[in-house]
Amino acid sequence: MTKRFEGKVALVTGASSGIGQATALAFGREGAKVVVAARRVQQGEETAEMIRRNGGEATFVKADISSAAEVESLMRATIEVYGRLDCALNNAGTSGNLMPAVDVSEQEWDSVINTNLKGAWLCLRHEIALMVKQGGGSIVNMSSVLGLGGTPIGASVYVASKHALIGLTKATAVEYSKQGVRVNAVCPGFIETALIEVATNAPGAKEQLIALHPIGRLGTPEEVAEAVIWLCSDAASFVTGHSMVVDGGYVAQ
Ligand code: NDP
């Protein structure tokens, strides 16, 4: 049976753990050659190795996506190794520290925005340029249900970064749709990964988060990966500028 991404090259940032790792594995299973990007070398190499053990093809490239120079090297390495770029998931992100909005320092603001928003933008501009040159491609930006509304848990900078990412998704989707580049966002509810530890450490905190999801549980990285894979596939050829919730009913309430 032909795999959906046979002959295609997919880049996943933040693929050393969580949602990024699950999506990189899914791309590998579907036949794509996968570029695994992150800062932690051991974990990133491990993701690439997992893909290869499953019979796929993958290369780890160490990159801090908040650095313009490192993003440039990442894109150069992608082209040097695989010669093209068909799909990209801009997933690398940080929760930042939870605190009331009035207590957020300039340093905290810069740290979260430089990763979640500037980092995605740095990747996006290279990805779009490569895809336009090739005649098309599909990009997904990892937003959040906190890109669609606020939260009282003390995550104002994160919320701002994820809302802005949806704006960037719409703007670039509209600008480049005629050149064959589709840009969409995925908005997960709370997913069982290391990222939500800041919000689940206190006693009873996890139960409170679960209660926000009508489905009665948190999501898994694999459930988010499914949405990314579909948006990147030809099955979604008329879908662009969309923000797809994968949230167990969180925003439907
Ligand atoms: P993880 O902490 O497991 O993953 C975060 C990933 O981002 C890691 O692979 C990390 O790799 C990478 N990363 C962070 N900063 C950088 C950087 N500067 N440069 C390169 N890579 C970086 O958490 P998740 O899988 O949950 O998070 C993935 C994305 O999903 C994030 O954008 C997050 O905001 C989003 N999301 C998560 C939700 C959740 O409930 N878990 C809900 C909604 C959205 P390394 O440290 O090796 O660089």
CB-ligand 1 contact for 194 (6 Å cutoff): yes
Q: Which residues are catalytic?
A: 158
CB-ligand 1 contact for 153 (6 Å cutoff): no
With 0-12 CB in 10 A as exposed, 13-18 as middle and 19+ as buried, what is 137? buried
Assigned token pair, 120: 């995605």
Nearest atom in ligand 1 to the alpha carbon of residue 19 is 25
Q: Tens-of-pLDDT digits for all 253 residues of the chain?
A: 789 999 999 999 999 999 999 999 999 999 999 999 999 999 999 999 999 999 999 999 999 999 999 999 999 999 999 999 999 999 999 999 999 999 999 999 999 999 999 999 999 999 999 999 999 999 999 999 999 999 999 999 999 999 999 999 999 999 999 999 999 999 999 999 999 998 898 899 999 999 999 999 999 999 999 999 999 999 999 999 999 999 999 999 9
Q: Where are the beta strands (DSSP E) in 80-179?
A: 87-90, 137-142
pTM for the full predicted model = 0.98
Question: What is the Cα–Cα distance from 81 to 87, expressed in whole angstroms?
Answer: 15
CA of 19 to the centre of ligand 1 (A): 7
Q: Tally the C-alpha atoms within 13 A of residue 209's C-alpha that lie toward its C-beta.
A: 21
